[in-house]
């Protein structure tokens, strides 16, 4: 498919992220009286503001905590009660520090301790916590450094290892300056792992497995564009195929704490590369994903791997036609076969079959029958009960059975009135007998039949159109345009704002893939592909550019009734949060009358 997106499109700052060299860090250290953070017993602030490796600001002050300093704390830090007696109180210091740190990334060694006291101070003095992003150098060191490099990740150990200019002394300002030096050395280390932005750093320090962390480089160099990504194993086989509006951002999430799926962790362990396929639009990306999954059968994809597993309800083309649940649509429509579907499960197909069977009692036996059978005895109990015309017997009324088959074929072709009328009468009778659960079951059977009818004819509408071109405005003021043939996507472009769309659309049509007309009752591509196209065509803002055939559905195929059934279900669920089925007579009565 042609892609007219300019290759030199300028990315926004939000797409690129905040680069570490442009970020402002405030490295803070506190000395306290010990105790709980909510006590806010802070005795000293020390902070250094850095950007691009340079110090651009400093903040240091003693604080009168308003409470005695324990003797062992005074011995450790050298901060005594007499030393802080004339120092400003926390109420005067805290607002100044918050202003100093405004808009920056807070950094601390063992950050939960220092940040905990800062938050406790905000609560105690009724200040709103500004919500700065926080980096913990202790955690960053544990992730970045190997055990054979440092015995532990204490600040004094790291300062010695990195040979910082300032050694920590258990005084806030010295410790903050030492921590700033340690931060710079650690950022140099993580740069080797592809960490270049604050967003990269947040993902790198999240609680992820070592394997996820070591595979982060697989996202390097991926495009910031819609498309498909393929994780591959060492032999180049596809492990997993996915799609996203932004390939790079989506792939990066597989190496963060947000990815918790066990199978994805297994996949990442095996993966050695990620191949991107940039697409013009999100819809094109979705279609390519479906096609690749069906073709490659990647082991870690679960959905869309087996399009052949879809289920259809078929009216057969044999001498005495019957209803059958099948796995594929064959080339027998011209011989009289008729199909409804696809269904999401065989259960749904069975429910729809029972609805149609009740209204139009075709035979249910699977025996292959001759046009003129010789037997004079009915072969099943249904015939004996008068619920089957017994086409298996010599005395069958061929004209009556053929009429029944014709009505069933008509119902499956879009005129569902006889089926809905018969089932509505059945539900009223059951409701009059207070058999509400039985009535609800028939309502569900009717819903499966109506859903299949609408789904079938929406797909067939696309399957009959040789060329359909439609466009949708983009947020940037341009257009995304798709070319569709017989239910398959044959071309996609994005036209930038200010560009005359007509020449681009003509070029799209001229270069679109050529699709042969499929067999009757089929779309040219995957059924899921056609359903995705329909969903896009029905989304807000889509406009038809040209079409070789009108978009039309049979007037009686069930769209209005399907909407009523959905509304009734929603009302019942809203009234009955404990049991979604049939608890009250009021809900049951509404269920019957609304669809009648």
Q: Return left, alpha or beta for 327; rule: phi > 0 is left, psi -120 to 50 is alpha, else beta.
A: alpha
Per-residue pLDDT at 402: 85
Smallest Cα–Cα separation from 200: which of 51, 53, 27, 16? 16
How far apart are the C-alpha atoms of 303 and 515, rounded to whole Å?
Answer: 26
**Where do the domains of the chain lie?**
20-195, 201-305, 309-413, 465-547
Does 575 score more than 60 pLDDT?
no
Distance CA 126, CA 286 (A): 50
Q: What is the pLDDT of residues 435-477, one digit of tens each?
A: 888 888 998 898 889 888 988 888 988 999 999 999 999 999 9
What's the pLDDT score for residue 562? 66
pLDDT bucket at 135, cuts 50 / 70 / 90:
very high
pLDDT at position 196, please?
82
Separation of alpha carbons 330 and 4, rounded Å:
38
Whether 585 shows a pLDDT value over 70: the answer reads no
pLDDT 10s digits, 80-134 = 999 999 999 999 999 999 999 999 999 999 999 999 999 999 999 999 999 899 9
Identify the bridge partners of residue 227 per DSSP, sorted by sequence position.
Answer: 244, 278
Q: Token digits for 565?
A: 């059934």
How many other C-beta atoms lie within 10 A of the C-beta of residue 361?
A: 15
Superfamily of chain region 201-305 = GIY-YIG endonuclease (3.40.1440.10)
Q: Summarize the confidence of residues 135-141 as an average pLDDT.
A: 92
| Angle of CA points 411, 417, 418, to nearest 5° | 75
Question: 196-216: per-residue pLDDT in tens?
Answer: 888 778 777 776 667 777 788
Query: What is the token pair recorded at 509?
Result: 């049509």
Instruction: Number of helices (H) and strands (E) in the chain: give both, helices first.
Output: 22, 15
20-195, CATH topology level:
Nucleotidyltransferase; domain 5 (3.30.420)
If 0-12 CB within 10 Å is exposed, 13-18 middle and 19+ buried, where does residue 307 land? middle
Q: What is the pLDDT of residue 138?
A: 93
Neighbouring CB atoms inside 10 A of 271's CB total 21
| pLDDT confidence band for 304 (50 / 70 / 90) | low
pLDDT in tens, 527-538: 899 999 999 998
Helix (H) or strand (E) holding 230: strand 227-232
Q: Please tell me the distance from the alpha carbon of residue 120 to that of residue 129, in angstroms, as a whole number.
A: 9
In this predicted structure, what is the pLDDT of residue 4?
Answer: 36
Of 127, 133, 170, 193, catalytic: 170
What residues contact 206, with CB distance under 8 A and at least 6 apart? 256, 257, 258
Task: Please provide the average confidence, as pLDDT, over all residues in the chain.
Answer: 84
Does the annotation count 170 as an active-site position?
A: yes
Q: What is the largest CA-CA distance in the chain?
A: 117
Range in 115-119, 304-308, 413-417, 539-543 with the lowest mean pLDDT:
304-308
CA angle (161 as vertex; 159, 166 as ends), nearest 5: 25
**Does position 168 have pLDDT exceeding 90, yes or no?**
yes
For range 319-341, the mean pLDDT: 86
**8-state DSSP, 477:** S
Q: Is omega for the bond preceding 321 within 30 degrees of 0, making it cis? A: no
Report the alpha-carbon distance of residue 447 to residue 445 in Å, rounded: 5
pLDDT of residue 384: 62
Residue 241, strand partner residues: 230
Residue 523 has pLDDT above 50, yes or no: yes
CB atoms within 10 A of CB 45: 25
- On the CB side of 211, how many CA atoms lie within 13 Å of its CA? 12
Percent of the chain with pLDDT strictly greater than 70: 86
Q: Residue 379 — very low, low, confident or very high, per pLDDT cuts 50/70/90?
A: low
Asked whether 446 and 349 are in contact (CB, 8 A), the reply is no
Q: Which two tokens stand for residue 251?
A: 């792939």
CB 443 within 8 A of CB 591: yes
| Distance set, CA 3 to CA 480, 543, 591 (Å) | 11, 20, 50
pLDDT > 70? residue 572: no
Structure-derived torsion over alpha carbons of residues 245, 251, 255, 260, reported in degrees to the nearest 10: 60
CA distance 150 to 156: 11
pLDDT tens string 472-505 = 999 999 999 999 999 999 999 999 999 999 999 9
Report residue 582 as tokens: 């049939």
Residue 197's SS3 state is strand
Residue 574 pLDDT > 60? no
């Amino acid at each position: 498919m042609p892609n007219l997106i300019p290759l030199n499109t300028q990315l926004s700052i939000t797409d690129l992220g905040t680069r570490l060299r442009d970020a402002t860090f405030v490295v803070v250290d506190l000395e306290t009286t010990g105790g709980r953070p909510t006590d806010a017993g802070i005795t000293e602030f020390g902070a250094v503001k850095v950007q691009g490796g340079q110090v651009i600001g400093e903040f240091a002050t003693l604080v009168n905590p308003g409470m005695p300093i324990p003797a062992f704390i005074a011995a450790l830090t050298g901060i005594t009660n007499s030393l802080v007696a004339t120092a400003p109180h926390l109420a005067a210091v805290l607002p100044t520090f918050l202003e100093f740190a405004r808009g920056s990334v807070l950094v601390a060694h063992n950050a939960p301790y220092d940040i905990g006291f800062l938050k406790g101070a905000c609560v105690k003095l009724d200040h709103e916590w500004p919500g700065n992003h926080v980096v913990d150098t202790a955690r960053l060191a544990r992730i970045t450094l190997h055990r054979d490099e440092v015995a532990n990740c204490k600040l004094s150990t790291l300062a010695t290892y990195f040979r910082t200019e300032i050694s920590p002394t258990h005084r806030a300002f010295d410790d903050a300056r030492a921590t700033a030096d340690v931060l710079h050395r650690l950022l140099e280390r993580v740069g080797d792992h592809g960490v270049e932005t604050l967003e990269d750093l947040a993902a790198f320090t999240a609680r992820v497995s070592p394997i996820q962390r070591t595979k982060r480089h697989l996202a390097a160099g991926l495009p910031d564009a819609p498309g498909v990504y393929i994780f591959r194993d060492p032999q180049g086989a596809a492990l997993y195929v996915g799609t996203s509006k932004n390939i790079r951002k989506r792939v990066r999430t597989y190496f963060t704490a947000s990815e918790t799926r066990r199978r994805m962790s297994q996949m990442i362990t095996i993966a050695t590369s990620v191949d991107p396929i940039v697409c013009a639009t999100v819809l094109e990306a979705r279609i390519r994903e479906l096609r690749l999954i069906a073709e490659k059968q990647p082991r870690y994809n679960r959905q869309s791997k087996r399009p052949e597993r879809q289920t259809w309800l078929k009216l057969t083309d044999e001498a005495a036609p019957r209803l059958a649940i099948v796995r594929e649509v064959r080339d027998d429509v011209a011989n009289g076969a008729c199909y409804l579907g696809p269904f999401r499960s065989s259960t749904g197909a069975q429910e729809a079959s029972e609805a149609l069977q009740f209204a139009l009692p075709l035979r249910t036996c699977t025996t292959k029958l001759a046009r003129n059978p010789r037997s004079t005895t009915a072969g099943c109990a249904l015939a004996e009960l008068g619920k089957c015309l017994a086409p298996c017997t010599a005395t069958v009324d061929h004209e009556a059975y053929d009429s029944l088959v014709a009505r069933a074929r008509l119902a499956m072709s879009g005129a569902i009135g006889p089926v809905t009328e018969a089932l509505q009468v059945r539900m009223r009778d059951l409701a009059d007998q207070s058999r509400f659960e039985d009535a609800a079951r028939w309502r569900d059977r009717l819903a499966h039949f109506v859903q299949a009818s609408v789904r079938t004819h929406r797909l067939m509408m696309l399957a009959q159109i040789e060329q359909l071109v439609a466009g949708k405005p983009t947020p940037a003021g341009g257009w995304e345009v798709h070319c569709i043939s017989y239910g398959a996507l044959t071309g996609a472009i994005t036209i930038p704002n200010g560009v005359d769309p007509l020449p681009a659309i003509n070029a799209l049509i001229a270069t679109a893939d050529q699709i042969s007309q499929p067999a009757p009752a089929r779309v040219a591509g995957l059924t899921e592909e056609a359903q995705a196209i329909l969903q896009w065509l029905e989304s807000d803002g889509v406009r038809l550019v040209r079409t070789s055939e009108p978009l039309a559905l049979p007037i009686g195929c069930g769209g209005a009734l399907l909407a009523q059934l959905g509304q009734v279900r929603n009302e019942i669920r809203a009234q009955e949060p404990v049991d979604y089925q049939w608890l009250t007579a009021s809900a049951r009565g509404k269920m019957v009358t609304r669809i009648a």
